[in-house]
Every structure is written in C-alpha cells, then in structure tokens.
Amino acid sequence: MARVSTSHVLLGLLAAGSRHGYELKRAHDERLPRARPLAFGQVYATLGRLRRDGLVAPAGQEREGGPDRTAYTLTGEGRAALDRWLAEVEPPMPYVSSTLFAKVVVALLVADVDRARDYLVAQRRAHADRLRELTAAKTAPAATVDDVVAADFAIAHLDADLRWLHTTLDRVADWHREVHP
C-alpha cells in the first residue's frame, strides 16, 4: 500500500504562505481529517529534512512568551519538487485511495489551478483507462470465475475512486473560494 508523503503534503500546505510547525500540524489535521494526525515530532523532523534539502527556508521567528517558533517558507526548489509530485500520476490500483486523497487535496490547495487541473485530468484518465482494461479482461470469453472476481474487486475500488473524484471536484469552486479568497 502506497504511503502518503508527509513531505509533499507539508510543501503543499506551505504553498499558501509561510507557517510554523504548529500551524502546519493543525492545517494538516484539518485538511486531511481522515488521515492519521501528524505528531509534532514528525512535523519538525520532516521540516528539518526539507530545510537540509533546500526545499524550505526559515522565514523569521516569533516569540510568544514560550519557545522560539520558526516559520518556514517554500523555496523555488521546494515548489519544483511539489510540482513534480503533483504531476506524477498514481498507478491506478485498488489501494491507491489514501495517496489519491492526499494528492487531490494538495492539488486543490496549491495556487496554480491549471496545474491542479492537468493532474486531475491525467489521474481521471488513468483510472478510466484501467477500468476499461479490467472490464475487457473480465468480459473476455476465456475469463475464468477467478479472473472475474479479481477484476470485480479492482473495478469496484476504481469506480469508487472515480465517483469520489467527481463529487470532490464538484465541490472545488467552493474550496477555491475558501482557500484563495
């Protein structure tokens, strides 16, 4: 099962503007409510790696009677890495859903609507193509019951992904108004 890339989700959240670790954790948990909540340690460790790799940079500190809180901003390289991840179509497989979910949410969050649209079109096409292949395989005269049952399983999941994708995108206009007022 493909794991969700926390690094890329954080890069996506930073695309909207600089934030410090605590804000990133809250934004992550709000935007991906069904995902496992991020631990603070995981956020800071990930930010440390992203900074080391030049994908984020410190954007100032604030002190509110507590420890220093460093805000981070996306670098040019960070944006390029995020764009590469978003452009990469997920291989349509039965258990792709969580990565698909994270990627669609992040695609909708980033400022570049054309890029998000390109990704969603490509992903939808990949799913529809795979659905067609599986349908052809299961309806072939030589298909065994085992073939049909296995194809059914994959088809049901892909169909569910596609329905969810459609419903989500139907809500997109509202999302964009919310995220980019």
Partner 1 sequence: MTQLQARGVVKAYGPTPALRGVNLEVGEGEIVSVTGPSGCGKSTLLHCLAGILRPDAGQVTWRGQRIDGWSEAARSKLRRTEFGVLFQFGQLVAELTAAENVALPLLLAGTGRREARTAALAWLDRFGVVELADVRPGEMSGGQQQRCATARALVTEPQVLFADEPTGALDTLTGEQVLTQLVRLAREQHTTVVLVTHEPRIAAYADREVILRDGAVDHSGLGLDLPLAGGQR
Indicate the residue among 44 and 175 with the shorter CB distance to partner 1. 175
Indicate the residue among 36 and 180 with the shorter CB distance to partner 1. 180
**Footprint (CB under 8 A) of partner 1, residues 113-172:** 113-114, 116-117, 120-121, 124-125, 127-128, 131-132, 134-135, 139, 155, 158-159, 162-163, 166, 169-170, 172
Residue 76 exposed, middle or buried by CB count within 10 Å (0-12, 13-18, 19+):
exposed
| Tally of CB atoms within 10 A around 47 | 21
| Tally of CB atoms within 10 A around 149 | 10
Sheet holding 69-74, edge to edge: 19-20, 69-74, 56-62
Q: How far is the CB of 156 from partner 1 (least distance, A)?
A: 8
Find out whether 101 and 135 touch, Cβ atoms under 8 Å: no
Indicate the residue among 59 and 172 with the shorter CB distance to partner 1. 172
Q: Which residue has the tokens 């049952």?
A: 149
Find out whether 77 and 54 touch, Cβ atoms under 8 Å: yes
**Footprint (CB under 8 A) of partner 1, residues 2-61:** none
Q: How far is the CB of 132 from partner 1 (least distance, A)?
A: 5
Indicate the residue among 89 and 172 with the shorter CB distance to partner 1. 172
Q: How far is the CB of 51 from partner 1 (least distance, A)?
A: 31
Find out whether 158 and 92 touch, Cβ atoms under 8 Å: yes
* 105 vs 4: CA distance, rounded Å: 12
Indicate the residue among 50 and 155 with the shorter CB distance to partner 1. 155
Contact flag: residue 173 with partner 1 (CB under 8 A): yes
The residues binding partner 1 (CB under 8 A) are 113-114, 116-117, 120-121, 124-125, 127-128, 131-132, 134-135, 139, 155, 158-159, 162-163, 166, 169-170, 172-173, 176
